[in-house]
């Protein structure tokens, strides 16, 4: 393993995505490795916000139908721009809501328990918000989550076994909701196989793509996935609280939305003001409320960059970055009790590296004090996410060297081994 800094510099010189780095606001004092929690702000995103602010200023109410980006069609426009990231047709994707509200919408739409099929299958490693939503939906149906929410156990605390999930796809399961990429370990689930196995058993299946969209390619339509949902503020760099997205397979078009609202309407019927919903005949039917125009604006700029870079090229660089990071950790930090807990093989590793260490909270604080921004996951996890559009191989090299210094000099001991309010 070449641990020389010049090797990292040579890798950067041969990076065909290097030009995108200048698109982002990056502090010269900071190495930002938390893009899987909140992506950095881009100049194009800033311009897009200004553009939509000006459309409000210029057109007022007529901004709904006038200007460069008419607001009435903005969710559909951005859905079309997102479609290539999830491997879908433009009409199968809509930018709307948030991760959790979209999950509520999709479960309300697709979960119809019967006496024979009345359970939801999930997992024990998923992000808490998804589990809260699934429990709420069960309770709304008068079902006890303790009996009707099944959570696949992890054999090692980090990853899920595909066969274990398949084995529990039994006759009592009506719906499956799983992450595309696990938020802690970064494991990529085999969405294609899981979908095929679910459908063979007459079970609907959907995926949370929060940690996979913008990081790995998907082929949702080809895989015949029933639905998916995601946030846009991580790898998609949509900004804090930016509007989420959802996918519904075209075979489900015409299905009544479980949670209907005005923007569920077919566009040409919406202003008829009828009290009987005529739902849109595409993914737009699963909108609920008015688009959050100013919160969705940054995606106009961000998604444009994804179109130019291409998700396949982004994935190639991401794999090179995380492979390089793991190799440096193995070589430079072998004496300091770090454990790489994410999958090492390219096929099942997402866009970040997950380290475990007994002093993880203190180490994260020490890194931030030195200008390196990681992500702490309770109780002892450190996530490092070198993002293909703006991180460099030199960033990775410098991070590992600083980790080595922090451990060798025990700088982390200056800090309490306890998470902050937000971690």
d(C-alpha 52, C-alpha 68), whole Å? 9
pLDDT at 1 exceeding the cut of 80: no
The 10s digit of each residue's pLDDT in 149-168 is 999 999 999 999 999 999 99
Binning pLDDT at 50, 70 and 90, where does residue 419 land? confident
The 10s digit of each residue's pLDDT in 5-36 is 999 999 999 999 999 999 999 999 999 999 99
Arithmetic mean of pLDDT, 249-269: 97
Binning pLDDT at 50, 70 and 90, where does residue 40 land? very high
- The annotation status of 64 as a binding-site residue, yes or no, is no
Q: What CATH fold (topology level) applies to the domain 5-32+310-414?
A: 3.90.1150
- The annotation status of 172 as a binding-site residue, yes or no, is no
- The annotation status of 129 as a binding-site residue, yes or no, is yes
In our burial notation (b when 16+ CB lie closer than 10 A, e otherwise), range 203-229 reads: bbbbbbbbbbbbbbebebbebebbbbb
The 10s digit of each residue's pLDDT in 283-336 is 999 999 999 999 999 999 999 999 999 999 999 999 999 999 999 999 999 999
Q: What is the DSSP letter of 345?
A: S
pLDDT at 221: 98
pLDDT at 421: 66
Q: What is the DSSP letter of 279?
A: B
pLDDT at 417 exceeding the cut of 90: no
Instruction: Report the predicted TM-score, pTM, of the whole model to 2 decimal places.
Output: 0.97
pLDDT at 132: 98
d(C-alpha 115, C-alpha 339), whole Å? 46
Binning pLDDT at 50, 70 and 90, where does residue 420 land? confident
Arithmetic mean of pLDDT, 82-111: 98
pLDDT at 173: 98
- Say if residues 285 and 257 touch (Cβ distance below 8 Å): yes
What stretches of 60-151 show up as alpha helix (H) in DSSP?
A: 74-86, 99-110, 128-140, 145-148
User: For 401, how many CA atoms within 13 A lie in the half-sphere containing its CB?
Assistant: 12
- The annotation status of 130 as a binding-site residue, yes or no, is yes
pLDDT at 233 exceeding the cut of 80: yes
d(C-alpha 21, C-alpha 389), whole Å? 6
Arithmetic mean of pLDDT, 87-106: 98
State percent of the chain over pLDDT 90. 98
Distances (CA, A) of 40 to 60, 188, 245: 30, 23, 19
pLDDT at 177: 99
d(C-alpha 20, C-alpha 396), whole Å? 17
pLDDT at 418: 82
Arithmetic mean of pLDDT, 191-215: 98
- Say if residues 325 and 62 touch (Cβ distance below 8 Å): no
pLDDT at 46: 98
pLDDT at 30: 97
Question: Which two three-digit tokens encode residue 198?
Answer: 């679910």
Rg (CA), the chain: 22
Arithmetic mean of pLDDT, 391-411: 98
- The annotation status of 331 as a binding-site residue, yes or no, is no
| CB contact set of 276 (below 8 Å; sequence gap of 6+) | none
Best CA proximity match to 265, nearest among 252, 279, 284, 275: 279
d(C-alpha 19, C-alpha 201), whole Å? 47
User: Could you tell me the residue ranges of all domains in the chain?
Assistant: 5-32+310-414, 47-308
- The annotation status of 127 as a binding-site residue, yes or no, is yes
- The annotation status of 226 as a binding-site residue, yes or no, is no
- The annotation status of 30 as a binding-site residue, yes or no, is no
Q: Which residue has the tokens 């398949």?
A: 166
Average pLDDT of the chain, as a whole number: 97
State percent of the chain over pLDDT 70. 99
What CATH code is assigned to 47-308? 3.40.640.10
- The annotation status of 27 as a binding-site residue, yes or no, is no
Q: Which residue has the tokens 């078009």?
A: 253
pLDDT at 270: 95
Binning pLDDT at 50, 70 and 90, where does residue 422 land? low
pLDDT at 56 exceeding the cut of 70: yes
């Amino acid at each position: 393993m070449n641990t020389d800094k010049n090797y990292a510099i040579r890798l950067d010189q041969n990076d065909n995505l290097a030009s995108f780095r200048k698109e982002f606001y990056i502090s010269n004092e900071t190495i930002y490795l938390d893009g899987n929690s909140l992506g950095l702000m881009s100049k194009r995103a800033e311009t897009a916000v200004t553009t939509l602010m000006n459309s409000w200023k210029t057109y007022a109410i007529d901004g709904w139908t006038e200007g460069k980006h008419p607001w009435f069609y903005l969710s559909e426009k951005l859905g079309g721009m997102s479609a290539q990231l999830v491997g879908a047709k433009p009409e199968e994707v809509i930018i709307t809501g948030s991760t959790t509200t979209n999950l509520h919408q999709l479960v309300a739409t697709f979960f119809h328990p019967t006496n024979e099929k009345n359970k939801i299958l999930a997992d024990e490693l998923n992000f808490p918000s998804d589990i809260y939503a699934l429990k709420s939906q069960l309770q709304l149906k008068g079902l006890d989550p303790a009996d009707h929410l099944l959570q696949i156990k992890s054999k090692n605390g980090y990853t899920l076994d595909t066969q274990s999930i398949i084995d529990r796809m039994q006759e009592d399961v009506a719906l499956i909701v799983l992450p595309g990429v696990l938020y802690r370990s970064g494991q990529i689930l085999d969405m294609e196989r899981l979908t095929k196995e679910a459908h063979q058993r007459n079970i609907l299946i959907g995926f949370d793509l929060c940690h996979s969209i913008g990081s790995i390619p998907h082929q949702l339509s080809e895989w015949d996935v029933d639905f998916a949902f995601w946030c846009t503020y991580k790898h998609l760099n949509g900004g804090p609280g930016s509007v989420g997205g959802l996918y519904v397979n075209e075979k489900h078009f015409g299905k009544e939305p479980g949670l209907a609202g005005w923007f569920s309407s077919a566009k040409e019927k919406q202003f008829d003001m009828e009290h009987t919903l005529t739902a849109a005949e595409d993914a737009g039917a699963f909108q609920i409320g008015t688009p959050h125009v100013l919160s969705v604006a940054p995606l106009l700029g961000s998604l444009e960059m994804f179109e130019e870079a291409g998700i396949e090229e982004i994935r190639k660089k991401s794999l090179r970055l995380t492979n390089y990071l793991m190799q440096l950790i193995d070589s430079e930090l072998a004496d300091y009790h770090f454990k790489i807990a994410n999958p090492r093989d390219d096929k099942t590793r997402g866009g970040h590296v997950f380290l475990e260490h007994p002093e993880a909270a203190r180490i994260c604080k020490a890194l931030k004090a030195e200008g390196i921004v990681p992500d702490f996951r309770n109780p002892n996890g450190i996530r490092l996410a070198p993002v293909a559009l703006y991180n460099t191989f030199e960033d990775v090299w410098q991070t590992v060297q600083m980790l080595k210094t922090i451990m060798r000099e025990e700088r982390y001991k200056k800090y309490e081994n306890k998470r902050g309010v937000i971690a």
